A = this chain, B = another copy of it.
Amino acid sequence: MLSDLAQQGPASYFPRPETPVTFNFDQGLAAEETFPIADLQRVMTTVLDRDRGRALEYVSLGYDAERDKILYPPTQGELALGYPGLRAEVARWIGRTQGVAGLDADHVILTSGSVQAIALAVSALLNPGEGALVEKATFPYAMRFMQMRGADVRAVEIDEHGLVPDSLVQRLGELERDGVRPKLLYVIPTFQLPTCVVMPEDRRRRLLEIAEEWNLVVLEDSIYADLRYGGEPVPSLLSLDTGGRVLQSHGFSKNLAPGLRLGWISAAPALVRGLAAVRQDLGVSQWTSRAMELFLVEGLLDPHIAAANQVYRRKRDVAVTAVRRHCGDLVTFDVPDGGFYLWLRMGDDVDWVKAQHEAAERGVFCRPGERFLGERDGQAFLRLAYSHAADDEIERGIAVLGEAITSNVR
């Protein structure tokens, strides 16, 4: 009875492991010890004390505080955009932290995490058969949404500086030759998933030039961008954009807590309204939105991120030291300046299939590189998430992983 879409299944179906997981380096989870539980409880309670029942209604723009009543129903677009107070605060936060002038609530739509933000962008921009471009290794959900939409998806090469502009131009030329209109580029310029590389400013500028030449819309996934604990910040694509062609997806799932289920897209108002038009729900919780508005107004987000980044830096250092100690030359990687992951390249001598099996049997789970690359590409990679485990677990788990690798050299 199911449709073709439903039969294709979800973006990435992960079977339940057959062996118990002792060391979970698989998921990109924020560290629970960083969650500001007391503050979140307080803001959720405070906004109901303050705003009472209207904070539990659908979003209503026409609320008149003086008369304490809803003056007119929200237009459907307003309802789909989300509570204006949080949209304004998010715009202010982006403006301040990224140096973008002129942003206001009209530039922001609230979404159920940044995954829904990506889905809305895909649906609002791509017609079936139109061309989309992604980095060669990328976030599987973005790919899946493009395929669900019937888009023609092409993969652009990446190197240690992220997306390769020449490769982008090449793919655009191929689409043109194939009679396909290129429309959307999805890119993760800062702490790219899964490689953790950062695109330098000159390459970002070049990317935007190409987008201008080809009339591309650029979806900048910045979910990891503020989890920086080393190196120098690089301007976001949104901040460098002069053509109104960048949509930036972001949210609170990595820098705060995924349980809030709050993300957003920041873009030119006409694009934002387009996203609202394809929405297939009535928007995010106004209660949670008002609570996060208060969280931002109280100035709690930036100090929280700064404190969390200290934790992630420490975990990264533990992980880097452990991989070097236990895997030696059999594994190579770059030390990331931020984010949640090490992107490990297995030496050609390693029988990675056997090593992976042995590691799993001993309770160590990382995410195989092919989950991001789509195909194996002749080279074995491993994404190791150090963000969630305790320091001693990182050390002990990587020791087990190292044994599995060193004992499976061909």
Q: Which residues of A are interface residues toward B (Cβ below 8 A)?
A: 1-17, 20-21, 24, 26-27, 29-30, 32-33, 35, 37, 40-41, 44-45, 48-49, 52-58, 62, 69-77, 80, 111-113, 115-116, 119-120, 123-127, 130, 145, 148, 183, 215, 217, 245, 253, 257-261, 270-271, 274-288, 365, 388
Contact = CB atoms under 8 A, between A and B. Distances in A.
A58 B215 CA distance: 37
Contact of A1 (B14, B58, B76, B217): B217
A3 B115 contact: no
B261 A14 contact: no
**Most chain B beta carbons < 10 A, residue from A1, A5, A49, A271:** A1
Contact of A278 (B3, B15, B24): B3
A41 B35 contact: no
**Most chain B beta carbons < 10 A, residue from A5, A7, A148, A288:** A5
Given A11-B76, A27-B58, A112-B282, 10 more contacts: A1-B274, A3-B124, A8-B277, A10-B277, A14-B74, A14-B75, A24-B71, A29-B57, A53-B257, A57-B258
A62 B124 contact: no
B10 A279 contact: yes
A1 to B, nearest CB: 6
Copies of this protein, total: 2
B276 A10 contact: yes
Contacts of A30: 57
Nearest to A288: B285
Nearest to A291: B44
Given A10-B80, A13-B76, A56-B258, A284 B112 contact: yes
A260 B13 CA distance: 28
Task: For the complex of A and B, list the 3 residue pairs with the smallest distance between their C-beta atoms, beginning with the closest.
Answer: A32-B53, A56-B259, A119-B280
B277 A24 contact: no
A14 B44 CA distance: 30
B14 A73 contact: yes
Nearest to A83: B259
A127 to B, nearest CB: 5
Nearest to A2: B274
Given A21-B71, A44-B44, A259 B287 contact: yes
A113 B53 contact: no
A267 to B, nearest CB: 10
Nearest to A388: B70
B2 A125 contact: yes
Contact of A45 (B4, B29, B44, B274): B44
Contacts of A145: 280
Nearest to A21: B72
Given A13-B77, A40-B56, A5 B287 contact: no
A283 B115 CA distance: 10
Given A1-B271, A6-B125, A32-B57, A115 B75 contact: no
A220 to B, nearest CB: 15
B258 A58 contact: yes
9 contacts: A1-B125, A5-B277, A10-B277, A13-B76, A21-B70, A56-B258, A112-B112, A113-B282, A119-B281
Contacts of A15: 75
A72 B35 contact: no
Contacts of A258: 56-58, 282, 286
Nearest to A118: B280
Contact of A48 (B2, B41, B80, B245): B41
A71 B24 CA distance: 7
**Most chain B beta carbons < 10 A, residue from A7, A57, A127:** A57
